């Protein structure tokens, strides 16, 4: 009985190369790349200024902190958790920076402290989720309020705007005379680091395992709790760094920065093909999604006639489409397969 059921080949045999092409083309990242091309064409037809180095410089600068925070958040979501508190950690970090600067500390010392503060916040989230077993969605909604509240407690309604120009120029400026902002170089470095971590190390593989099936991962010996704790801490640390970056870039350290960022970061990650259920997704996808979001925003900004309100509608539609599309495609494929192999259902 067993051997008979296992015998029939389901799909027609394809050549190795054909299957590989289909594998590449069928991937989410390829779809994103296609959308990028469409955006490039559409954007250029809206405004001849779209495909310029200027657009990249200013557009990517605007998304710097979102891009940074998307990297570790991708890993958190792959592990089937979520962290909605990243923007509040960024705000707390900015507030701490403002406070320390107004008390005479040098930037060189402040930035590591901000990263440490962020890491602490992330660890707090992590402990609540792992040791206390609380759901990360609820926890991070709570810490979203808590951390931003703490930011206000630190610096109140004030803002510090007199950071040293050496540093603000560095945060706002471009790398070595090119059109690439320094913050993008920082992002590129972190992106490569996270990509290597996620895609080429055992730790990265274990993240996928935890996300795909936590129980199985636990029983196969992975230290699930420690992995999650590390991921939350990383998320907080990078958010802390992003807080320092945004404060220097805008020359404003305050508690009300980054309002609403968390949703944009989650959107970028989900759009990048990271499944909300965990276990799937790549850093490459996140990078492409960030480019896509930035490109759409820039195109609409440059348009003289299309209202920039459309950015929100398009973002929302893309987000939903990114999950709905594959679902529908799968359903169509299932129906087609069922029609051509009716006996498959019965296991013959």
| Residues between 86 and 125 with contacts to other proteins, criterion CB under 8 A | none
Strand locations in 1-132, DSSP E?
Answer: none
Q: Which is nearer to other proteins, 219 or 277 (CB)?
A: 277
Nearer to other proteins, 18 or 342 (CB): 18
109: number of Cβ within 10 Å: 10
* Phi/psi of residue 49, nearest 5 degrees: -85, 0
Among residues 42, 62, 113, 225, the one that binds other proteins under rule CB under 8 A: 62
Chain positions 228 to 267 lying near other proteins, rule: CB under 8 A, are 246, 250-252, 254-257, 259-260, 263, 266-267
Closer of 201 and 348 to other proteins (Cβ): 201
Please tell me the distance from the alpha carbon of residue 24 to that of residue 27, in angstroms, as a whole number.
Answer: 5
Binding to other proteins in span 182-201, by CB under 8 A: 192, 195-196, 198-201
In the complex with other proteins, the residue whose CB is nearer, 5 or 330, is: 330
Cβ at position 305, least distance to other proteins in Å: 10
Count the site residues for other proteins by CB under 8 A. 104
Q: Dihedral, CA atoms, 314, 329, 274, 244, nearest 10 degrees?
A: -10
Q: Which of 136/233 has CB closer to other proteins? A: 136
CB nearer to other proteins: give 31 or 250: 250
10 Å CB burial of residue 14 (0-12, 13-18, 19+) is exposed
Residue 348 CB, nearest distance to other proteins (Å)?
25
Please report, as residue ranges, which positions from 130 to 149 form the binding site for other proteins (by CB under 8 A): 132-135, 137-139, 141-149
Least distance in angstroms from the C-beta of 3 to other proteins: 26
Per-residue binder mask for other proteins (CB under 8 A), 21-60, x = binder: --------x---x-------------xxx-xxxxxx-xx-
Widest CA span in the chain: 79
CA dihedral 225, 228, 232, 237 (to 10 degrees): 100
Q: Which residues lie closer than 8 Å to 199 by C-beta, 6 or more apart? A: 282, 283
Among 45, 102, 220, 312, contact with other proteins (rule: CB under 8 A): 312
Interacting span for other proteins (CB under 8 A) from 4-12, 110-118, 234-242, 306-314: 306-314
Q: Does residue 236 contact residue 123 with C-beta atoms inside 8 Å?
A: yes
Residue of 128, 186, 210, 268 that binds other proteins (CB under 8 A): 128
> If residue 89 lies in a helix (H) or strand (E), which one and from where to where?
helix 86-102
CA 104, CA 287: separation in Å to the nearest integer?
37
Interface with other proteins (CB under 8 A), residue from 38, 216, 313, 348 = 313
Nearer to other proteins, 1 or 34 (CB): 34
> Least distance (Å) from other proteins to the CB of residue 2?
25
Instruction: Give the containing element (helix H, strand E) for 190.
Output: helix 182-200
In the bound state with other proteins, the residue whose beta carbon lies nearer, of 60 and 235, is 60
Q: Does 18 bind other proteins (CB under 8 A)?
A: no
Smaller CB distance to other proteins: residue 198 or 238?
Answer: 198
Structure tokens at 36: 């990028």
Question: Rg (Cα) of the chain, in Å, rounded?
Answer: 23
Residue 184 Cα distances to 71, 75, 82, angstroms: 13, 20, 25
């Amino acid at each position: 009985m067993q051997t008979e059921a296992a015998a029939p080949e389901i799909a027609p045999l394809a050549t190795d190369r054909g299957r590989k092409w289909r594998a590449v083309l069928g991937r989410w990242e390829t779809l994103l790349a296609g959308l990028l091309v469409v955006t490039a064409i559409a954007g250029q037809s809206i405004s001849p200024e779209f495909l310029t180095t200027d657009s990249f410089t200013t557009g990517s600068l605007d998304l710097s902190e979102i891009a940074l925070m998307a990297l570790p958040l991708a890993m958190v979501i792959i592990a089937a958790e979520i962290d909605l508190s990243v923007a509040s950690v960024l705000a707390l970090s900015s507030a701490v920076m403002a406070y320390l600067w107004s008390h005479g500390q040098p930037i060189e010392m402040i930035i590591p402290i901000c990263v440490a503060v962020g890491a602490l916040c992330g660890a707090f989230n992590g402990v609540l989720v792992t040791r206390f077993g609380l759901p990360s969605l609820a926890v991070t909604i709570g810490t979203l309020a808590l951390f931003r509240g703490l930011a206000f407690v630190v610096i109140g309604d004030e803002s510090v705007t007199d950071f040293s120009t050496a540093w603000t120029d560095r945060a706002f400026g471009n790398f070595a005379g090119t059109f690439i902002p320094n913050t993008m170089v920082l992002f590129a470095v972190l992106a490569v680091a996270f990509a290597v971590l996620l895609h080429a190390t055992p730790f990265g593989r274990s993240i996928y395992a935890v996300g795909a099936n936590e129980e199985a991962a636990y029983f196969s010996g992975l230290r699930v709790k420690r992995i999650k704790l590390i991921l939350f801490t990383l998320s907080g640390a990078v958010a802390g760094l992003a807080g320092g970056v945004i404060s220097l870039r805008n020359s404003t350290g305050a508690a009300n920065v980054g309002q609403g960022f968390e949703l944009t970061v989650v959107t970028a990650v989900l759009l990048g093909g990271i499944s909300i259920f965990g276990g799937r997704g790549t850093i490459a996808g996140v990078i492409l999604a960030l480019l896509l979001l930035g490109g759409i925003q820039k195109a609409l900004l440059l348009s003289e006639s299309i209202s920039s309100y459309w950015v929100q509608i398009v973002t929302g539609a893309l987000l939903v489409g990114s999950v709905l599309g594959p679902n529908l495609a799968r359903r169509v494929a299932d129906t087609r397969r069922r029609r051509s192999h009716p006996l498959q259902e019965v296991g013959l």
